Each structure stands twice: as structure tokens, then as C-alpha cells.
Structure 1
Amino acid sequence: MSERADGPAGGTVPSGPLLRTMVRRDPDEAHRVATPLELLFDLCFVVAVAQAGGRLVHAVAAGHAGQGVVGYAMIFFAIWWAWMNFTWFASAYDTDDVPYRLTTLVQISGVLILAAGVPRAFDRTDYSIVVVGYVVMRLAMTAQWLRAARSERGDARTTALWYAVGVVLVQTGWVAFGFLPHSGAQVWIFVVLAVAELVVPVVAERHRPTSWHPHHIAERYGGFTLIVLGETVAAATGAVQSALDRGHSTELLPIAAGGLLIVFAAYWIYYVVPIHEHLHGSRRAFLWGYGRYLVFSTAAAIGAGLAVAIKQMIGQAHISATSAAASVTVPTAAFVFFTWLLHACHHKPSLGRQAVLPLTAVAILACTSAGPWAVLLTGFVAALSVAVSLFLRHRITRSSDAAAAA
């Protein structure tokens, strides 16, 4: 006996059959929300994000910013791509039955293996453990696609099979990459394999786009952004505690205040407009979904930058005050700009409102030259941009109301 999985995936033990037919869910399904299993999935992924951010702090503080940023970008790609593939698949095929849950738990195990390998990847350029965790996640994803292919017919079945075959082929390349000796070609091989991963959905979706749910996708991405910002707060809090233990309470105030303002402004900027209305059509969804790598990675890097700034202030980082400031201003400016480009610009009706966030990003970069006061100034600039946006929106609303009344 089978049951169509059109209803919302619940958070309790599945009622009815323990094994359901994995058919596409209705993309117009009402009240579609993230499930507890998806939230657990996100929280476990943030463990890997925290590991990557922590090693980035260590690398930058030691004066190896270039090497640290490259390693961070590579590790974060693995985290983001595995998370993103699960998220879009779940939006289309979440049956919430026993096999689905067990396969998802295998994926969670994979990201925890990946997280365990992050220190070795940064310190020794040994990606073997990271690759093992990544391949575990991706092969579990392949099992999900094969299960979907078994239940589907026609073009939908072809799409699922293309996904499964594509993922397996790319994993053979990752296995070889994981055991390559360290060399200058390692980064370029990574780039080739990452591009291959990005191409798989483009090829597979040509046959028939999967039936993802716009509201659900928007909520999932928003929730993960919120968790990453929370990790930024946690990283900064740990650095503040370390500084307090060494008696640097007074010097901490500008960085602590600026950091809070940055996080609060980042939250406001991201959540000020709904994005689900923009997610219609595969091309638009691809560009938006792929571009989120830049939003997620820069949001997490803000926390690493705050930790570096605190370490430099207490004399534990072998870098200049300007370099420490850049570790905060650069990811903050990038977060603001990419959030505008991929998210906010679709809801800005006037040129003035469109210009606020790009100009904010430029102003934040200019704060780098302020040295020890850069973080506080960055926080003020970010908060001011929110205030200006609210003022402009209020003025436009008043003008529209006055025109309607006339």
C-alpha cells in the first residue's frame, strides 16, 4: 500500500505507511514549512561552518590570509553545495517516511565527518577526511534521486536519473582529489570539479524542472542565513570572552558594539523584503540559488573577522590594525552587496532606494582605513543604511497614499 506525499511533512513519526511512494509534491501546497528534520539538518551543517570559520580565524591571525581564504572558500563550497542539493530535493520530494529519514541522517553523518576533517584540511592541506564526508553526503543524495526515479515516469524520471548519474560521476573525481598530494594544481582541480557539480542540475533540469515550492525554498534559505548569523554571534562572543579573561574589557567596547550593529543590520537587510515572489522559473531560481553561496559564506566570514579583530586588539594576531579591520569590512561589504544583488534589488522601486545598499558597501570598505575604530564605524554605516532605507520607504508610502487620496 502506498500513499501520495502531497500533505505537509510532519515532525512526528510518520503516520500510515512507513514506506511511501516518492512522488513530486505540489509546488502550490498551502502552509508548506520547514520540518524538524530539516532544522536538525541545518544545525548539524552549522557545526561544519563553525569549524571552517574557526580555522579561517587562525589562518588570518597568523598572517596567512590568502591561504586561509582559499581553504575557507573550498570547504564552504562543499558545505553549501551539499546543503543546497538536499534543500531543493526536499522541497520537491520530501515524503518524511522511514527511508527518507534514514537517508537524511546518513547525510547528516557525512557533514559531521566533513567537519572533523576541516582542521587537517587547513593545517596540512589534506582534504581526505573532508572528501570522505562530502562523498557520503552526495552518495546518500544519489540514493534519494534513484528512489525518486523509481517512482516517477516520463521526463520526471529522466530528470531524476540524470541527477543520480551526474552526481556519481563527479564523486569519482572528488575521491581522486581527496588523495592527491599537495601541489599548486590542487586548487585548479577543485575548481574543475566544483564547476562539474554546478553543471549537473543545469543538465538534469533540461528534461523537466523539479517541482520545488517557492515559499518553502525562501524559508529554508532564510532560516539557514539566520543560523549562520547566529554562528557569527557565537564566534564573536567566544573571542570577547577570551579577551575579557585577559583583562581587555575597555578596548573591547568599540568592537563589541560595532559587531552587534553589523549583525542586527545584516538581519534587517536580509529580511526586509520577501523573496518567494521572485522565485518563478528555473533560470531565475538557478541564478538566485547558486548566488547564495556568496551570501552564506560572507555572512559566516563576518564572525571570523570579528574574532580576528579582537585577537589583533589583544596582541594575539600577527597582522596590522588595517588588516584586522579588513577582515571585518570586506566580508560585511560583500554580504551587503550580494544581498542587494540577489535579493533586495528585486523589490526596490526607485533609483534612490536601489542605490542605498551598493553605496553602503562602498562606505563600509572605506571604513577599513579607520584601524581600531573600523568595526564600530562599519556598524554605524550598516545601521544608517537601514535607517535611510526605512525613511525612503516611508516617504514613498506617504506620497502614494497622498496621490490615492487626491
Structure 2
Amino acid sequence: MPVLMRARRRDEEHRASTPLELFFDLCFVVAVAQAGRQLAHALAEGHPGHGISGYLMLFFAIWWAWMNFSWFASAYDTDDPLYRVVTLVQMAGVLILAAGVPRAFEHSDFTVIWFGYVVMRLAMVTQWLRAALGSRGAERRTALRYALGVTVCQVGWLGLLLLPKGDVRWVFVVVALLELAVPALAERQRQTSWHPRHIAERYGLFTIIVLGETIAAATVAVQSALDENDELSSLLPIAGGGLLLVFAAYWIYFAVPIHRHLRSNRQSFLWGYGHYLVFGSAAAVGAGIEVAVEESVGKSQLSTFGASACVTVPAALFMLTVWLIHSRHQKRGLAQQLVLPVSSLLVLACTFAGRGAVLASGLVASATVAVGVTLTSRQGTAPAE
């Protein structure tokens, strides 16, 4: 007989990510890798509009499913057999979704994507219904609102299959907005008992996973180019610049103790939703490096400027978004506040550096870290960058 699912305390000590949560995250690596690979192929073939719009839609599905589970688990993780089984079912849905990414990109066929999402979301509804059974009053109503909201939105995603392909983007926008509204509506009377330190750790771990996938994608791209062209002199600057970008991204993100800022839903919703751009841009940097590699060996339909922009634009977006929703809350003084916004503009300017754009961006990102560390040391504040 499964235990009742009771809410965990927000002030619980030593609250950390569980092995099951880490296993859950690893399944999402597959989906992120598939989305990034398809984005890289579309960009390299000279179809940026199709590639970017498809990537934004598919990455939303990946990010939103991950985020819903992570916040639920922060409040209700009982780690009993039933909880584990339902979570494993969600993981199976992630893998189904990942398998459907190429078909969705190439043929706008969302059947497999939708089915994988059904598996994930119905499992999530089961978790919320179980939480409702173990609670009462306002907490129970919150859980039931979540279950109803997730179900209604999943029905809305049927539009991807039933409506003409030309309406797919409109369906996505409408239902995505409904999805984003569910937590705010469900928690308007009572806030779920998510744990600030646990949530900050969960987002940090997923950031590491996305950055790791970026390194893996770049490594495979360089290896493939070497196998076919042996153009080491043109590949080393891209590989070195890409590595500097990822290292700097890690440093910038983890320089601040963000859990101190996450006091209520007012701060946490904006912070959590903003990570759509943080995660999406970090993964897109890897796709951009792949495109830059292909352009350097003559396999891309994009110009040198276009290939450079595939790296510099998501890198600049990452830096600016991390500052906007994450780092600025721990900054002290105008100088510290300006480091990341100014650096994001400088990274964008690196687009004009030709085939040296990736290396130049990596050097700017490294300088950003150095300047941030220096300012922090002089001002004697908590770590900034």
C-alpha cells in the first residue's frame, strides 16, 4: 500500500537532489541533443527560419516537462515505489519525445512528439491527483487545479495533429501561453512548498547537463571535420573559442547563490520561466559551433557572417538573460551590474570577426569572468563573476 503523498517542508535541512532526479535529467539530455542537432542541420543548410522556429517549439516542450516535474518533486517527493514508477513512466515519455524530434523538424509531423508528451503529462496528472488525495483544504484545491490544467493543455496540443500545418505555430503560441498560466492559476490561493535550495540546485544541475551537451556536440563536429578534411588550422580556433565560451558560461551562472533570492512565487516564477532562454541559448551555442565548423570546411550553405552569428547570438543571449533573471540580484554597484550587459554586446560585435568570431567570443567571455572576479575582490562582496 503506497504511503500518502505529503508536502515536504520549505525549511527542510540538507534538501538535495535525489539519484532518481539525476536519472530523470539524463533522459532529457537525449531530447536536448536531438533538438540541438536538428537546429544545427537546419542552420547549416541555410534554413534559419525553419530551424529556429522548430527549435523554439521543441525546446519548450522539453524544458516545460522538465520544469513541471522538478518543481513538483521539490514539494512532494516521497521516493516510495509508486512515486518512482510514475517518474520512470515520465522518463519513458521523454525518450519517446526525443525519438520524434527529427520527424517533427523535417516533416512537421508531431505525432510521436505528441504521444511522448501524453505519456509524460498523464504521469504528471497522476502525481498531482495523488498529492490531492494526501492533502486537504487549499493545498488539495491547488493540486486538483494543477491536474485539471495539465489535462486541458494536453488536449489543446491535439491541435498540432488535427489542424493544417500552416496553423501549427499559432497553436503552439496559444497552448504554450496556457501552459505558462497553469502554475499561477493553480497557486493563486496557496503556494506549493518547493524548497529554494533544492530548486536552485536542480536548475544548476540541468545547466551543467546542457553545457555538457554543448561540449559533446562541438567535439563530435570537430572530430567529423577532421576525419573528412584534416583542416586543423581552421578548427583549432573554433574548438578553443567554444571551450572558453562554455567554461565562462559555467563560471558566470554559478557565481551567485541564487537561492537567497527565491523567497516566493513572485521571484521564482520569473526566474524559473526565464530559464527557457538560459537553457535554450546554452544548447544553441553547441549547435552554432557545429555550424561554424561546417562552414570552415565548406560544408555549410551559410556565409561566414551567418555561421558566426549562430554562435555569438545565443552566447550573448545567455549572458544577458543570466544577468537579467539570475546574477543582477547579487550585484553591488554600477560597475558589477554593467559587466554582463556590456559583455553581451561585445560578444555580438564579435560576429564581424569573420572565422575568428568563435575565438573572439571565447576571449571576451573569459575577460568577462576576469573583470567580474577583479571587481568582486576590490569591493569585497559575494562572488559575482
TM bin (shorter chain): over 0.9
Structure 2 unaligned regions, length at least 5: none
Contact 1:261 1:383 in 2 (8 A): yes
**1:53 paired residue among 27, 36, 42:** 36
Q: Hey, what does 1:223 align to over in structure 2?
A: 205
How many residues in Structure 1 have an aligned counterpart in Structure 2? Answer: 380
Deviation at 1:251, TM superposition (A): 1.1
Structure 2 SS opposite 1:280: coil
Q: 2:264 is aligned with what amino acid? A: G
Deviation at 1:175, TM superposition (A): 2.1
Deviation at 1:353, TM superposition (A): 0.4
Structure 2 SS opposite 1:191: helix
Structure 1 SS opposite 2:191: coil
Q: Hey, what does 2:214 align to over in structure 1?
A: 232
**Aligned mates of 2:233, 2:195 — CA distance in 1:** 49
**CA deviation map 1:9-28 (0-9, x unaligned):** xxxxxxxxx62110100111
Contact 1:270 1:339 in 2 (8 A): yes
Matches within 5 A, 1:10-89: 19-89=2-72
**Aligned mates of 2:48, 2:373 — CA distance in 1:** 36
Q: Hey, what does 1:187 align to over in structure 2?
A: 169
Q: 1:320 is aligned with what amino acid? A: S
Matches within 5 A, 1:298-309: 298-309=281-292
**1:271 paired residue among 254, 258, 261:** 254
Q: 2:183 is aligned with what amino acid? A: P
Deviation at 1:300, TM superposition (A): 0.4
Contact 1:127 1:179 in 2 (8 A): no
**Aligned mates of 2:40, 2:61 — CA distance in 1:** 19
Q: Hey, what does 1:403 align to over in structure 2?
A: none
Q: 1:135 is aligned with what amino acid? A: V
**CA deviation map 1:139-195 (0-9, x unaligned):** 110000000001100000000000001111111111232343311x21011100000
Contact 2:157 2:171 in 1 (8 A): no
Contact 2:70 2:199 in 1 (8 A): yes
Q: Hey, what does 1:90 align to over in structure 2?
A: 73
**1:321 paired residue among 304, 314, 336:** 304
**Aligned mates of 1:253, 1:377 — CA distance in 2:** 13
**Aligned mates of 1:92, 1:177 — CA distance in 2:** 32
Q: Hey, what does 1:118 align to over in structure 2?
A: 101
Q: Give the aligned CA root-mean-square deviation in angstroms.
A: 0.9
Structure 2 SS opposite 1:367: helix
Matches within 5 A, 1:192-203: 192-203=174-185
**CA deviation map 1:300-345 (0-9, x unaligned):** 0000000000001011111100000000000000000000111100
Structure 2 SS opposite 1:372: helix
1:140 aligns with 2:100: no
1:368 aligns with 2:351: yes
**Aligned mates of 1:113, 1:180 — CA distance in 2:** 22
Structure 1 SS opposite 2:207: helix
- Flag the structure with larger Rg: 1
Deviation at 1:272, TM superposition (A): 0.7
Contact 2:128 2:147 in 1 (8 A): yes
**Aligned mates of 2:136, 2:15 — CA distance in 1:** 25
**Aligned mates of 1:317, 1:41 — CA distance in 2:** 35
**Aligned mates of 1:290, 1:20 — CA distance in 2:** 32
Q: Hey, what does 1:332 align to over in structure 2?
A: 315
1:345 aligns with 2:353: no
**CA deviation map 1:333-385 (0-9, x unaligned):** 00000001111000111100000000000000000011100000000000001
Q: Hey, what does 1:12 align to over in structure 2?
A: none
Deviation at 1:390, TM superposition (A): 0.6
The alignment's TM-score, normalised by the length of structure 2, stands at 0.97
Matches within 5 A, 1:278-289: 278-289=261-272
Contact 1:88 1:217 in 2 (8 A): yes
**Aligned mates of 1:330, 1:96 — CA distance in 2:** 41
**Aligned mates of 1:81, 1:24 — CA distance in 2:** 22
The alignment's TM-score, normalised by the length of structure 1, stands at 0.92
Q: 1:325 is aligned with what amino acid? A: S
Q: Hey, what does 1:13 align to over in structure 2?
A: none
Q: 1:206 is aligned with what amino acid? A: R
Structure 1 vs Structure 2: percent identity of aligned residues? 60
**Aligned mates of 1:64, 1:224 — CA distance in 2:** 29
Q: 1:349 is aligned with what amino acid? A: R
**CA deviation map 1:200-230 (0-9, x unaligned):** 1110001210000000000000000000000
Contact 1:128 1:179 in 2 (8 A): no
Q: 2:262 is aligned with what amino acid? A: L
Q: Hey, what does 2:144 align to over in structure 1?
A: 161
Structure 1 unaligned regions, length at least 5: 1-17, 399-406
